[in-house]
Amino acid sequence: MKQDLDHLMAERGLDAAVVSGLTYGNPTLIYILNGAAVSGGIVVKKRGEQAAFIHSPIERDEAVASGLRLINRGKYNMSAILEEKGNMLDATVELYRRIFAELDVHGEVAFYGMSDQGRAYLLLRALEEALPDIHVCAEYEEGLFDVARATKDADEIAQVRQVARLTCEVVAETVEFLRRHPVREETLVNADGMPLTVGQVKQHIHRLLAERELEDPEGVIFAIGRDAGVPHSKGRADDPLRLGQTIVYDLYPRAPSGYFFDVTRTFCLGYAPPEVERAYQDVADCLDGVIGAVRVGVETKQLQRVACTILSGRGHATIAENPQTEEGYNHVISHGLGLAVHEEPNFADASSNHQTLQPGHLFTVEPGVYYPSRGYGVRLEDVVWLDETGQLHNLTPLPKQLVVDM
Amino acid sequence: MKQDLDHLMAERGLDAAVVSGLTYGNPTLIYILNGAAVSGGIVVKKRGEQAAFIHSPIERDEAVASGLRLINRGKYNMSAILEEKGNMLDATVELYRRIFAELDVHGEVAFYGMSDQGRAYLLLRALEEALPDIHVCAEYEEGLFDVARATKDADEIAQVRQVARLTCEVVAETVEFLRRHPVREETLVNADGMPLTVGQVKQHIHRLLAERELEDPEGVIFAIGRDAGVPHSKGRADDPLRLGQTIVYDLYPRAPSGYFFDVTRTFCLGYAPPEVERAYQDVADCLDGVIGAVRVGVETKQLQRVACTILSGRGHATIAENPQTEEGYNHVISHGLGLAVHEEPNFADASSNHQTLQPGHLFTVEPGVYYPSRGYGVRLEDVVWLDETGQLHNLTPLPKQLVVDM
């Protein structure tokens, strides 16, 4: 949680943390800026002090919403620095030198936020060389903000509940939209008498999202039949909607607050083949079993093991035995969720992964089984939260039902 | 242009370029992947050879759309590498070692694509240390892909024209939406008899965008009165729509192809005060004057100088005399546009900027004058393209008119 930042900085021996870049696609910057609607900037957080936001002069109104100490970047006169230094790398180093001098930053300074990787390498190397009072630090795993962001406080959960409710509404209304279509020769048809396609359904989903001010920056999965059997297949726009085929509908939109939700339902229109019914029951049981294993202190990798054990016990191949299997269960059971659709905690069953479930963790549980060669796949996904007392809350207000009556 | 990559790599002495990361917020990766709808991956482009895409096993269907040579990442068995190495940094170095060995990559290798900056620093430093056959290169300005992406070929322009048409439709329909509202005491009122607000207009804009499959990832500017006088003020949701006040409406949505458009219109509902009329004419004349100065070979900074000269001649303060002015003209005249809403070329009037306009360049021209203390601002923005023969095309099919008759 944000309130843990000073404590987490102390654990890491950090005197200051810098978060910078454009806000677009930069969840850590959005986080430290408390969602202020600016295009970017530099935030300097010294341990034990309020963070300072060096913002663009023309975004001074939007910067106020950050609640941070504000410094107008105009005062550094970057154009004059650039004139003096003659190139942007040296000018940026000089800008940081002046910012650090003004804020009295020295010691161990870690850098976060999205940047072009080559530029980041050059800049941090140049800062390390040019600024004798600071030591450039960085973390590859479980970084300061990864850990802080992974546990959500009540304010954040209030925002997540809001996007959860709207997201589940969209899924339910999409099903109602499908049910309004007549069926001809096992295929849904639209008003022109032509087959209703996946592309048209996605257009409708985008209208439903827009009515709720939700965005779909990463692209909804609405995949039918064989495509449902490939976990990240998005679905083909010209596929018709046919009865009796599995549809994997995985929606992960973002609210204006920046928070994502993520839910998956699988259903068949009209009827489901017996094999699919069995697979669906296996996946639903696995979801319940994994949620049953969620408890503060449990190693995250245990959830992946529980999923593999349950599905393997039902006769499905899993990546526990064969990391490259394309049939059966072949992904990770869970991921953290927040200002990014995938964030910490990490649930990989790797010996290097020692993460344990903590109060505040918000994450998906999403077992699935996939049989592209047999033309189907099933995945179900709920989102759960461990509150401050360690109590589990399922934040997914949406029933599960395999067959949609037409 | 993409076809220039080998030539640009040769100019830079590069043997290979690596582009990696998540696709979300990562335009260079989207570019090299030709828009394939994957969540991320690693692309390795050797000079003179087709690029190879190391993709996630569960995204094998989507990877095909890249048109690149495909390598399923599953073959490297990252879980086993992680087990062996015990941490993700060393495991990632080992993954690159294996990829480079398989593709016979050595020599000067540059890295691109968005990453957490601290992680990028650690990874590229580790690669430089661990892999004796490669030298890690990076560029801070005018990088390989910045330059390639800045010039658009006919295929890209076809996509830009598509999003241009839809974006301009949304602006025109927003104006029609405003005109449908009755006026009471100089204020637009909605069906409930309550004042129509900026927040409600933005909701309608988002519906219009969604109907056209456009996203608004960076947040539309719809700012009235004093807020219109602050260039990047997004507008306040509860501001009512009043007659006679300037509205700056700056829309920069993204199409599913990944390409952005960017257009700004300023208007007043009902009538405009004489001072605003004069400012509007100054800005419109400036736009024409700057577009008149566009020619292949001209230094980009000349456009900024032309804008400052014209507006200064009309009595407006400009950043040419006072870099920190908050009144008058206080930003850069243009920016490149494409898979990012701001990209190369760079139009800053800095002595270190030696860029010149080239065939294929696509960019905005957006003069404005801002008077927050007097409660108004005016900006107009068109997008122009220099084709392969150097001919100028204005890609903005939208008229300009200050007063909207109510």
pLDDT in tens, B243-252: 999 999 999 9
From B124, which residue of chain A is nearest by alpha-carbon distance?
A121
Burial label for A327, CB within 10 Å (0-12, 13-18, 19+), is middle
Kindly determine whether residue A141 and residue B88, on different chains, have CB atoms separated by under 8 Å. yes
Least confident range of A229-243, A268-282, B175-189: A229-243
- Cα–Cα dist B130/A286, whole Å: 42
When the pLDDT of each residue in chain B is averaged and rounded to a whole number, the result is 95
pLDDT at residue A233 in the model: 82
Least confident range of B31-35, B59-63, B301-305: B59-63
In the structure, what pLDDT confidence band is assigned to residue B213 with cuts at 50, 70 and 90?
confident
What is chain A's length? 406
Kindly determine whether residue A203 and residue B217, on different chains, have CB atoms separated by under 8 Å. no
Which of A62, A79, A83, A116 would best serve as a mutation to test chain B binding (most B beta carbons within 10 A)? A116
In the structure, what pLDDT confidence band is assigned to residue B15 with cuts at 50, 70 and 90?
very high
User: CA A170 → CA A125, A216, A292, distances in Å?
Assistant: 47, 12, 27
Is the pLDDT reported for residue B323 higher than 90? no
Kindly determine whether residue A119 and residue B125, on different chains, have CB atoms separated by under 8 Å. no
**A132: amino acid identity, one letter:** P
Note the pLDDT tens digit of each residue in A162-207.
999 999 999 999 999 999 999 999 999 998 999 999 999 998 998 8
In the structure, what pLDDT confidence band is assigned to residue B198 with cuts at 50, 70 and 90?
very high
pLDDT at residue B211 in the model: 85
- Cα–Cα dist A199/A236, whole Å: 7
Q: What does CATH list as the number for B152-404?
A: 3.90.230.10
- Cα–Cα dist A191/B60, whole Å: 35
Least confident range of A147-156, A389-398, B229-238: B229-238
What mean pLDDT comes out for the span A274-280? 98
Is the pLDDT reported for residue A219 higher than 90? no
C-beta of residue B145 within 8 angstroms of C-beta of residue B9: no
Strands B40-46 and B52-55: antiparallel
In the structure, what pLDDT confidence band is assigned to residue B233 with cuts at 50, 70 and 90?
confident
Is the pLDDT reported for residue B49 higher than 90? yes
pLDDT at residue A141 in the model: 92
Task: Name the residue among B8, B16, B9 with its Cα closest to residue B99.
Answer: B16
pLDDT at residue B79 in the model: 86
d(CA A179, nearest CA chain B) in Å: 21
pLDDT at residue B217 in the model: 82
Return the H-helix or E-strand segment holding A223: strand A221-224
In the structure, what pLDDT confidence band is assigned to residue A93 with cuts at 50, 70 and 90?
very high
d(CA B328, nearest CA chain A) in Å: 12
In the structure, what pLDDT confidence band is assigned to residue A76 with cuts at 50, 70 and 90?
very high
- Cα–Cα dist A238/A249, whole Å: 16
Note the pLDDT tens digit of each residue in B57-89.
888 888 999 999 999 998 998 989 999 999 999
Q: Per-residue DSSP letters for B267-314?
A: EEES---HHHHHHHHHHHHHHHHHHHT--TTSBHHHHHHHHHHHHHHT
Kindly determine whether residue A138 and residue B122, on different chains, have CB atoms separated by under 8 Å. yes
Note the pLDDT tens digit of each residue in A115-139.
999 999 999 999 999 999 999 999 9
Kindly determine whether residue B25 and residue A28, on different chains, have CB atoms separated by under 8 Å. no
d(CA B391, nearest CA chain A) in Å: 31
In the structure, what pLDDT confidence band is assigned to residue B107 with cuts at 50, 70 and 90?
very high
d(CA A7, nearest CA chain B) in Å: 20
Kindly determine whether residue B117 and residue A115, on different chains, have CB atoms separated by under 8 Å. yes
Kindly determine whether residue B138 and residue A121, on different chains, have CB atoms separated by under 8 Å. yes
What mean pLDDT comes out for the span A262-288? 98
CATH fold label, A2-148: Creatine Amidinohydrolase; Chain A, domain 1 (3.40.350)
Which residues of B are less than 8 Å from A207 in CB distance? 207, 210-211
- Cα–Cα dist A188/B279, whole Å: 56
Is the pLDDT reported for residue B234 higher than 90? no
Task: Name the residue among B144, B149, B183 with its Cα closest to residue B47.
Answer: B144
Which residues of B are less than 8 Å from A28 in CB distance? 116
What mean pLDDT comes out for the span A140-154? 96
Is the pLDDT reported for residue B40 higher than 90? yes
Work out whether the CA dihedral B219, B225, B226, B229 comes out positive or negative.
Answer: positive
Where does A126-175 show beta strands of DSSP type E? 134-137
pLDDT at residue B262 in the model: 98
pLDDT at residue A318 in the model: 97
- Cα–Cα dist B119/A117, whole Å: 8
Task: Name the residue among A364, A401, A360 with its Cα closest to residue A261.
Answer: A364
Specify whether the backbone of B75 is left (phi greater than 0), alpha (psi in -120 to 50) or beta: alpha
What are the boundaries of each domain within chain B? 2-148, 152-404
In the structure, what pLDDT confidence band is assigned to residue A314 with cuts at 50, 70 and 90?
very high
pLDDT at residue A136 in the model: 98
**A376: amino acid identity, one letter:** Y
User: CA B130 → CA A53, B127, B133, distances in Å?
Assistant: 37, 5, 9
- Cα–Cα dist A264/A338, whole Å: 17
Burial label for A283, CB within 10 Å (0-12, 13-18, 19+), is buried
What mean pLDDT comes out for the span A294-309? 98
- Cα–Cα dist B154/B160, whole Å: 10
Kindly determine whether residue B116 and residue A143, on different chains, have CB atoms separated by under 8 Å. yes
Total CB pairs under 8 A between chain A and B: 227
From B205, which residue of chain A is nearest by alpha-carbon distance?
A210
Is the pLDDT reported for residue B325 higher than 90? no
Residue B323: which of A39, A59, A79 has the nearest Cβ?
A79
Residue recorded with tokens 């300023």: B266
The fourth-level CATH superfamily of domain A151-404 is: Creatinase/methionine aminopeptidase superfamily (3.90.230.10)
